[in-house]
Structure 1
Amino acid sequence: MTTPPTALMITPDQAIDGAPAVRRVFALDPDHGPVVAAEVLATAHGVCEVRVNGAPVSTDLLTPGWTSYEWRLRYAQWDATPVLAGRAGGRAVIEAVIGSGWYAGHLGWDGSKEVHGSERAALVELRIRFADGHVQTVGTDETWTSVPTETTADDLYDGQRIDRRISAADRFAAAPMPGEGGVRIVPFDAARLAAYTSPPVRRQEEISPIRVWRSPAGALLADFGQNLVGWTRLSVRGAAGQEITLRHAEVLDAEELGTRPLRRARATDVFVLSGADDVFEPTLTFHGFRYVEVSGWSGADEDLAEALRAVVIGSDLTRTGTFRSSHPLLNRLHENIVWGMRGNFVDVPTDCPQRDERLGWTGDLAAFAETAVYLYDTEAFLADWLRDLAVEQEHADGRIPIVVPDNLKYEEIGAMAAAMGSSLVIALWNDAACWVPWAMYEAYGDPGVLGEQYASMTGHVRRVAAALSPRDLLEGGFQLGDWLDPTAPPDAPHLAKADPAVVATACVHRSVVIARDTALVLGRDDDAAEFAALATRIGGAFAEHWVRDGRIHSDAPTVYALAIAFGLVEGTDRAAAGDRLAELVAESGHVITTGFAGTPFILTALSETGHLETAYRLLLQERCPSWLYPVTMGATTMWERWDSMLPDGTINPGEMTSFNHYAFGAVGTWLHRVVAGLAPAAPGHSRVRIAPRPPETGLTSAETALDSRHGRIATGWSVEGGRLRVVATIPEGVTAEVSLPSGFAVEVGAGAHEWEESFPGVVVRSAASRPWVSTGESEG
């Protein structure tokens, strides 16, 4: 592994509007032959882009991303050989442009800026190896200079202003530049440096507008047909000094750009033309959007469609899991889940990518982790985020923050924050410490993540033990509970039907069980016994105080879903709880009545207690609130609220109204495991369960595939003429436990397999009139 850089952290010694560059003109060491290799190591307080002789050394974006800067600052390692190879002597120029990023820009929802620090700074080291083995090192120090750049303003929330009248080419000449000044050293503890292990953020694809038109108010609008995360690139020629402004939003409001859900985020880029052919790409910001309003465009409206492209960005993850069915709306739902994950996995797993928030909420990821690890290879991405969770926990006396990295500890966020401070444990959110590494272990089979996170996991469950009431329940204090239950008041999303203490106790019980199982995997038998006893105490108290003849205190769907899914009711109580859950779902008219805590588990609880058809009626419901309602409204990502857009096409008046929020996409796990029928039966999918459970009506086929650590595992089914046909492909090293609806069971090894049995007929509603419905799964 490359040794860490030894350069110094530097910042301009003068005030520079926008994104400054620090640069160094240097001579290649003579008499050592040509350059045969070069590498750049770089990090920043902010985000940085490094160029040598004007050429970018990497396609990575927003480097070094966002970590818990107080204790971890990643550095990138880039191959710079292509820009210097073969040169023997002469002068060269290296620069780093420094954006504000998460470090010095706006962060959070109260307008805070410079939360982590007020000075943008960069640390860059260029290592050049010559033919004779000599190595020349050029690192940031007091000999570098600072200059303004064409980016005269930048912010992740607000956008970027680029003035092409300021030439970037001048920065790569040896001559001094107008406005060039010095730099000064920023005190910096090099022990904070950590090499990148998480995939970098990169461009993923480009999308052309599907429509360009004028709104009723005369605004020039472009629709990319997909809610996405990134920016718009504009190719244009116009008069020098002409300004073109691009405003971004996810939806339209009364046929105009719908910016109210962005809150304080301006999401606006301004491009100032040079007078020649210009290409603008604002790489020091990002937006969540489907629509763009363009003002200042002097060409024909129809020409804008050729000049404008949406550039999709995200952490460079490999797609592993797919799903397809005979139901077009269900396919679009799954595609929305994928796009929601893509847009929110931008260096950290965020809650939303568009407004003044974009934080690493732990509860969202706890709910979604099992779906995430199936859809993409997130092992390195999540392991890196968990390191931040653990270091934040370590420096907060064992308390796990509700966002990671934790910017909220520096901010005043009102009465709710004060209330949360009274609780030792915020269930579900804090439970990410256990739920996320366990989901990774089940998906990828490597106990290393459990070992690395063991102190964090056990610290959390021991904090749970300390927080229990004398009744061995997690009650008292403040809980976020079944957040965003659709029956909760719009301005108080924590006031769900489900009693918050019941929800909290169920969630922490699951964490204790996971800690017990983790201890067993790692051979920590004493800890396993401790946690087993704790789980028994909590489970016993739950049953004693809150379960009566299968009825659970607060009698809300979420409490039944959690109790069933987490093994808190057994025998006749479990059966009765399943029956009551099915009754409640039917009484609601088969619409969603659960929030963040209950939604990921309600279909599992129904199907595991003999109520498969009720689960399918809930899944395939199109009335609001439901999973498919947003699809019928044209959604292309998951929504924060079930009714982020109301049936009349207006935006929900609530303050929290994101149209790209992945948490409710946790239903993807049920699609994979029950609808299509593929679930892990051992960590890493060395054993799998092939157990599709088709509905009697609504679907005629479904299929899923997973690129596991052992190879591609695929299964699918179809019903035709009263016969169910199931197929599966199993790679070497994997054993499949097959279970069909009739009760037939068999165990098979590697190869292609097929089974057939009789099955009730299936009737499918036509969706041909819905032009926005996907015809299949996006491979993303």
Structure 2
Amino acid sequence: MPPTWHATMIGPDEDFAGAPLLRTEFSVETGHGAVTGAQLHATARGVFTAFVGGAAVSDEVLSPGWSSYEWRLRYRTYDVAALLPDAGETAVLGFALGNGWYRGRLGWGDERAIYGPELGVLAQLEITFADGHRQFVGTDGSWRAGPSAVQTNDLYDGQTIDARLVDDAWLRPGAAGSGWTGVHAQEFDAAILAPYVGPVVRRQQEVSPTRIWTSPAGGTLVDFGQNLVGWLRLAVRGEAGATVTVRHAEVLEDGELGTRPLRSAQATDRFVLSGADDVFEPTLTFHGFRYAELDGWPGVPTTDAITAVVVHSDLRRTGRFRCSDELVNQLHDNVVWGMRGNFLDVPTDCPQRDERMGWTGDIAAFAPSAAFLYDVADFLGDWLLDVDAEQRAAEGLIPYVVPDVLKYTPPGDLGAQESTAVWGDAAVWVPWALWRAYGDRDALDRAYGAMAAHVRRVETLLSDTGLWDTGFQFGDWLDPTAPPDDPIRAKADNGVVATACLYRSARTASEAAAVLGRGGDAEHFAGLAERTRSAFVKHYVGDDGRIRSDAVTAYALAIHFGLLDDRVRGLAGDRLAALVAESGHRIATGFAGTPYVCDALVETGHLDDAYRLLLQRDCPSWLYPVTMGATTVWERWDSMLPDGTINPGQMTSFNHYALGAVADWLHRTVGGIAPAEPGYRTVRVAPRPGGGLTWAECSLQTPHGLVAVAWRVEPSGALDVEVAVPDGVTAEIDVPGAEPQRVGAGSHRFRAGA
């Protein structure tokens, strides 16, 4: 049950460099028997770490994360009974605060404190005794606030810690504390408080340096061998007052840190030494990096003194894939690491520069891959609550980013926000991907309001032709033919892309309405879908199967989304294959087309072209970054140029998951696992070997148990397929060269061919 709040949101009378400590003392009441339970409910404006009895109540970091604070401020509930003192004894309830998303920099300018000017904390400790009595200790005007060892903290710019000021006395009863002041109550509407739905952020892994060396400019560089997200933990001893400065970057250029892609983000931590053995860990920031530069280190740093701490939301791995091509395996690993780095409380576009926002277009493309690789039902379910809150306040508009901080910032080059294809379609495509993956009807119902609102709003934006060819569109964003400084200049016609996406969303909304028993909506959206399909074919498709703009993305969307009848579909598929071949099987798609181009080729009988596209190593291709040493998916197909220099565009990230959406095709077509019904109660096992691959293995921990598929092409050319099906699940087996069949739980083996 949610708590009944008696506490007050309070803030420190002094700011204390944006990292104040707040505390109160309490004694466990006597005369009521033993303590039978104790819960701490807590949230903050900013980010917090809570302490009871001198110990942190959890190993999580950066709570309560980033939500649409105007409508949803999440709180955490902790079981703290084990941290309480004996009855009659005194303990401290304390909080360490930081700026976080609430008051730190957000966006790509110098916008700060977008949600409010002050940090604050709301907390309530509830102790239950054997006789039923309850003791409450909550934030109020009697609390005290004081300074910490943190001198600066910002998610983009980094953190400064002065080890000379580290003192845990504030967590012990009786500590007065030099420089401590009072607190004040803040105006706050408790109606926006909401429990966490998604997982918290935690430290997930530690990575040691693979190399430490001196750069041409004389700096000390550290390589961790993996582009990751988190921070460094340093163990160092040096002269009191000396400062060790750490800068972070994803790549090197000319032998030095490649910091230009960070734009204005400083990504710099500073640690002031105490003169004793110091251990620094900047938990009020995070960085996207593979490399770090150390300045001011006393002596020569050693690998055992430096550790990279990987940080992201606490997700459970569910899906795996391997095959006989090690470059493809590295590509898949890159997708996984890119997802890990960008699933830090919000599904962000990138984790390193001055942006790190929940761009809707990225997750619209990537949601099916995400739902296979990890259990993201709650993570994305939580984010979809913010999508719904934002669209309700904006009359059905799905913003470009969620939470939507852009509504508070100057419009810039993008102009005022309006519904856009792919980006706005995230409100439909993401919950549908979750429905297909997990079969949770209640979750679909919670997301349905935003699904319907988006489609209804777009319906009002159509031109007289019935096409969505009006207003601003991102289109096939980052088409590789677009100039570095103009990523929106794609070859695919914006109207073609947007109208195809509307058809898909209207059809999906109709299917969702039918699942939920909303017959009127199902009929309305089905009618809109058919009208949209007719308009698309009439205005964009020729009798010869040619589609306006004759772009790979145009054909991929029209084929895979089902806009074409069988005759035209075949012609369009042939034209798509011809274009892919003409490009030398190099990528010619951006955000809109990339997730679907391989599917469209396979669906029209061009499996070999799909594999040649997948296995291409020249730029632009999925494997080109792998050949350049990438360990995450890049934002641009050529984020790094073949000569080792960084793409000259001002928007260049080396950790974006959107173009890694091909992983979904790897799982379904190469690996052979797809849901035949929502939640995998029936699973489709239909691997399609090709491209010279000799084996592949794919597995998924479904809601009903583990499904695993392994296939091998024997020297004779025969195909051997092994399938494991969990209890309660039926598998539809479709192996090339064999008759389709259905099997139940157990281990099965199938052979076809020579």
Instruction: Provide, for residues 627-647 of structure 1, a one-character-per-residue CA deviation record: whole Å limited to 9, x for no partner.
Output: 000000110100000000111
| Counterpart secondary structure, 1:599 | coil
| Counterpart secondary structure, 2:164 | coil
Of 618-627 and 15-24, more deviation after overlay is shown by: 15-24
- Counterpart of 1:670 (choices 662, 665, 670) is 665
Q: What are the residue-to-residue correspondences of 1:367-386 with 2, within 5 Å?
A: 367-386=365-384
Indicate the residue corresponding to 2:195 in structure 1. Answer: 195
Aligned residues: 751
CA–CA distance in 2 between the matches of 1:552 and 1:493?
22
Indicate the residue corresponding to 1:29 in structure 2. Answer: 29
Q: What are the residue-to-residue correspondences of 1:690-769 with 2, within 5 Å?
A: 690-695=685-690, 697-721=691-715, 722-758=717-753
CA–CA distance in 2 between the matches of 1:300 and 1:278?
16
Instruction: Provide, for residues 309-337 of structure 1, a one-character-per-residue CA deviation record: whole Å limited to 9, x for no partner.
Output: 01101110100000000100000000000
CA–CA distance in 2 between the matches of 1:259 and 1:99?
25
Q: Does 1:243 align with 2:237?
A: no
CA–CA distance in 2 between the matches of 1:161 and 1:528?
55
The alpha carbon displacement at 1:241 in A equals: 1.4
| Counterpart secondary structure, 1:653 | coil
Indicate the residue corresponding to 1:771 in structure 2. Answer: none
On the 8 A contact 1:32/1:88 being kept in 2, the answer is no
| Equivalent position amino acid for 1:134 in 2 | H
| Equivalent position amino acid for 1:633 in 2 | M
Indicate the residue corresponding to 1:333 in structure 2. Answer: 331
On the 8 A contact 2:27/2:87 being kept in 1, the answer is no
Indicate the residue corresponding to 2:127 in structure 1. Answer: 128
The alpha carbon displacement at 1:25 in A equals: 2.0
Indicate the residue corresponding to 1:407 in structure 2. Answer: 405
The alpha carbon displacement at 1:175 in A equals: 2.9
| Equivalent position amino acid for 2:184 in 1 | R
CA–CA distance in 2 between the matches of 1:660 and 1:206?
19
Q: What are the residue-to-residue correspondences of 1:49-128 with 2, within 5 Å?
A: 49-84=49-84, 87-128=86-127
Indicate the residue corresponding to 1:526 in structure 2. Answer: 520
| Counterpart secondary structure, 2:61 | coil
The alpha carbon displacement at 1:546 in A equals: 0.6
| Counterpart secondary structure, 1:165 | helix
Instruction: Provide, for residues 71-119 of structure 1, a one-character-per-residue CA deviation record: whole Å limited to 9, x for no partner.
Output: 100000112122216x121221111111000010000001111111110
| Equivalent position amino acid for 2:506 in 1 | V
CA–CA distance in 2 between the matches of 1:481 and 1:557?
13
| Equivalent position amino acid for 1:460 in 2 | H
Q: Does 1:605 align with 2:600?
A: yes
Q: What are the residue-to-residue correspondences of 1:413-452 with 2, within 5 Å?
A: 413-418=411-416, 421=417, 423=418, 425-452=419-446
Distance 1:5 1:202, change over 3 A: farther
TM-score, normalized by length of structure 2? Answer: 0.98
Distance 1:253 1:400, change over 3 A: same
CA–CA distance in 1 between the matches of 2:164 and 2:685?
62
Q: Does 1:156 align with 2:155?
A: yes
| Counterpart secondary structure, 2:18 | coil
Instruction: Provide, for residues 683-714 of structure 1, a one-character-per-residue CA deviation record: whole Å limited to 9, x for no partner.
Output: 0001111111111x421001100000110001
- Counterpart of 2:361 (choices 334, 346, 363) is 363
CA–CA distance in 2 between the matches of 1:371 and 1:6?
43
| Equivalent position amino acid for 2:199 in 1 | P
On the 8 A contact 1:61/1:202 being kept in 2, the answer is yes
Indicate the residue corresponding to 1:345 in structure 2. Answer: 343
CA–CA distance in 1 between the matches of 2:684 and 2:276?
61
Q: Does 1:166 align with 2:172?
A: no
| Equivalent position amino acid for 2:268 in 1 | T
Q: Does 1:644 align with 2:633?
A: no
Indicate the residue corresponding to 2:535 in structure 1. Answer: 541
Distance 1:36 1:162, change over 3 A: farther
CA–CA distance in 1 between the matches of 2:498 and 2:662?
21
Indicate the residue corresponding to 1:616 in structure 2. Answer: 611
CA–CA distance in 2 between the matches of 1:563 and 1:583?
16
| Counterpart secondary structure, 1:648 | coil
CA–CA distance in 1 between the matches of 2:281 and 2:175?
27
| Equivalent position amino acid for 1:114 in 2 | A
Indicate the residue corresponding to 1:478 in structure 2. Answer: 472
Indicate the residue corresponding to 2:495 in structure 1. Answer: 501
On the 8 A contact 1:676/1:702 being kept in 2, the answer is yes
The alpha carbon displacement at 1:343 in A equals: 0.5
Instruction: Provide, for residues 55-84 of structure 1, a one-character-per-residue CA deviation record: whole Å limited to 9, x for no partner.
Output: 101111111100100010000011212221
Q: What are the residue-to-residue correspondences of 1:549-568 with 2, within 5 Å?
A: 549-568=544-563
CA–CA distance in 2 between the matches of 1:693 and 1:412?
49
**What is the identity percentage for the equivalent residue pairs of Structure 1 and Structure 2?**
59
| Equivalent position amino acid for 1:80 in 2 | V
CA–CA distance in 1 between the matches of 2:6 and 2:58?
21
CA–CA distance in 2 between the matches of 1:270 and 1:133?
50
The alpha carbon displacement at 1:664 in A equals: 0.6
Q: Does 1:388 align with 2:383?
A: no
CA–CA distance in 2 between the matches of 1:589 and 1:80?
62
CA–CA distance in 1 between the matches of 2:445 and 2:175?
54
Indicate the residue corresponding to 1:264 in structure 2. Answer: 264
The alpha carbon displacement at 1:398 in A equals: 1.5
- Counterpart of 1:628 (choices 596, 607, 623) is 623
Q: Does 1:687 align with 2:685?
A: no
| Equivalent position amino acid for 1:409 in 2 | K
| Equivalent position amino acid for 1:543 in 2 | V
| Equivalent position amino acid for 1:149 in 2 | S
| Counterpart secondary structure, 1:600 | coil
CA–CA distance in 2 between the matches of 1:384 and 1:198?
5
The alpha carbon displacement at 1:462 in A equals: 1.1
For structure 1, the 5+ residue unaligned runs are 760-780
On the 8 A contact 1:728/1:754 being kept in 2, the answer is yes
| Counterpart secondary structure, 1:562 | helix
| Counterpart secondary structure, 1:456 | helix
On the 8 A contact 1:110/1:413 being kept in 2, the answer is no
Of 408-417 and 32-41, more deviation after overlay is shown by: 32-41
The alpha carbon displacement at 1:34 in A equals: 4.9
CA–CA distance in 2 between the matches of 1:4 and 1:727?
54
CA–CA distance in 1 between the matches of 2:587 and 2:536?
25
Indicate the residue corresponding to 1:488 in structure 2. Answer: 482
Of 494-503 and 15-24, more deviation after overlay is shown by: 15-24
Indicate the residue corresponding to 1:146 in structure 2. Answer: 145
For the aligned residue pairs, the C-alpha RMSD in angstroms reads: 1.2
Of 164-173 and 443-452, more deviation after overlay is shown by: 164-173
| Counterpart secondary structure, 2:415 | helix
| Counterpart secondary structure, 1:714 | strand
Of 654-663 and 735-744, more deviation after overlay is shown by: 735-744
TM-score, normalized by length of structure 1? Answer: 0.95
Indicate the residue corresponding to 1:229 in structure 2. Answer: 229
On the 8 A contact 1:58/1:79 being kept in 2, the answer is no
| Counterpart secondary structure, 1:551 | coil
| Equivalent position amino acid for 1:639 in 2 | W
CA–CA distance in 1 between the matches of 2:523 and 2:2?
42
For structure 2, the 5+ residue unaligned runs are none
CA–CA distance in 1 between the matches of 2:127 and 2:163?
32
Indicate the residue corresponding to 1:316 in structure 2. Answer: 314
Indicate the residue corresponding to 2:204 in structure 1. Answer: 204
Instruction: Provide, for residues 547-603 of structure 1, a one-character-per-residue CA deviation record: whole Å limited to 9, x for no partner.
Output: 102100000000000000000112110000100000000111110010000000000
CA–CA distance in 2 between the matches of 1:498 and 1:647?
26
The alpha carbon displacement at 1:33 in A equals: 4.5
The alpha carbon displacement at 1:31 in A equals: 3.3
On the 8 A contact 2:738/2:752 being kept in 1, the answer is no
Instruction: Provide, for residues 742-774 of structure 1, a one-character-per-residue CA deviation record: whole Å limited to 9, x for no partner.
Output: 252111111101111226xxxxxxxxxxxxxxx
Instruction: Provide, for residues 455-483 of structure 1, a one-character-per-residue CA deviation record: whole Å limited to 9, x for no partner.
Output: 21111111121111111100121100000
The alpha carbon displacement at 1:258 in A equals: 1.1
Indicate the residue corresponding to 2:583 in structure 1. Answer: 588
Of 2-11 and 509-518, more deviation after overlay is shown by: 2-11
CA–CA distance in 2 between the matches of 1:456 and 1:300?
56
CA–CA distance in 1 between the matches of 2:4 and 2:206?
35
Instruction: Provide, for residues 357-401 of structure 1, a one-character-per-residue CA deviation record: whole Å limited to 9, x for no partner.
Output: 000000000000111101100001111100100110000121110
| Equivalent position amino acid for 1:744 in 2 | E
CA–CA distance in 2 between the matches of 1:336 and 1:583?
29
CA–CA distance in 2 between the matches of 1:437 and 1:167?
46
- Counterpart of 2:452 (choices 441, 454, 458) is 458
